[in-house]
Structure 1
């Protein structure tokens, strides 16, 4: 056999056992997407003015809490409402409610203080004032700086309570400007308590629907 034929034969000899192709690996199982977080309100610190929202409070989507705002347990802020503590502090007690599109704001020297079990109606504006426990601030009403609304009082829908007005406990305020019309009856006070007490259950229902 000539040298070229020997070389060709050597080149055709296998160099060990044949390699078995690796079996294709199955594709990795897709990871489940992260569970979407239920929509909630915006909590916005402003420098050192930081909101403090109790875990048992509920902020509806499109509500805003900004600056130094303290919110107690069981309180609910509804769709489109705003509690703004940029210029001075805002304090909201327990089991109160700030209904749709209502606003609480404060001015320097005029903090906003809202007691327990208070209802602030749709589109009302509560500005730098004190609202006592168990009050109802009616829809579309305005309460201005330095006013003090005594416990268990009602500000009628559309009323404007001027700066520095002092309202005795258990009073009905109505008109523009707001005037003290009379003392509320016991039946009216019971109706107010029932209406205010309805809101924690409503908040729980909305929260559950958003989380489902």
Structure 2
């Protein structure tokens, strides 16, 4: 992980240090205008955070791996340590993760290649396993653990079925698409600023 760029080099993005922590954003990551990134946040190589997302790590930490995308309007937060819970609930997001528009992920773990659907919610200490999908609009309640290659849906979310190879391939195509599209958007933002 390289040090974050100065805020001035990410136009339209609000980067706020707090409690001695400044966000660390890999130079190759795309952060869209309108985003607010606060505190103890790390964003890995070739990841993308899309328009009007909020990542607020003021009471614990948020770690985002490589080639992960957090789509427009999503909110990412965490929870501090508490009596009987000295680790608190950091938000840990692996590599090649897809997080759909308007999702809310809070103090949970999303393993490599996990998928969070549009408008879904994942709560503290929940786990979205590798190659698994939380369906659009679902709510994964506190402490629930999804198995690998499972589809969960509903409010509260429950296992619906196992995912087949075609579904897994589709998720991987989505990751590749967002990594490529982020490069186009980064160029478009730069071009807009030079007009």
Compute the TM-score of the two structures, normalised by the length of structure 1: 0.81
Q: Any idea what SS the aligned residue of 1:158 has?
A: coil
2:75 to 92, 95, 103: 103
Q: Give RMSD over aligned pairs.
A: 1.3
Q: Is the 8 A contact 1:112 1:128 kept in 2?
A: yes
Q: Where do 1:119-198 residues align within 5 Å?
A: 119-198=98-177
**Which residue in the other structure is 2:43 paired with?**
71
- Per the TM alignment, residue 39 of structure 1 is displaced from its structure 2 partner at its CA by 2.7
Distance (whole Å) between structure 2 residues aligned to residue 153 and residue 66 of structure 1? 28
Runs of 4+ residues over 3 Å off in structure 1: none
Q: Any idea what SS the aligned residue of 1:200 has?
A: helix
Q: Any idea what SS the aligned residue of 2:76 has?
A: strand
Distance (whole Å) between structure 2 residues aligned to residue 59 and residue 188 of structure 1? 28
Q: Where do 1:79-118 residues align within 5 Å?
A: 79-108=51-80, 109-118=88-97
Q: Any idea what SS the aligned residue of 2:181 has?
A: helix
Gap runs ≥5 in structure 1: 1-35
Which has the larger Rg? 1
Gap runs ≥5 in structure 2: 1-7, 81-87
Compute the TM-score of the two structures, normalised by the length of structure 2: 0.88
Q: Any idea what SS the aligned residue of 1:85 has?
A: strand
Q: Is the 8 A contact 1:78 1:100 kept in 2?
A: yes
**Which residue in the other structure is 2:15 paired with?**
43
**Which residue in the other structure is 2:185 paired with?**
206
- Per the TM alignment, residue 90 of structure 1 is displaced from its structure 2 partner at its CA by 0.3
**Which residue in the other structure is 1:5 paired with?**
none
Q: Any idea what SS the aligned residue of 2:166 has?
A: helix
Q: Is the 8 A contact 1:38 1:210 kept in 2?
A: no
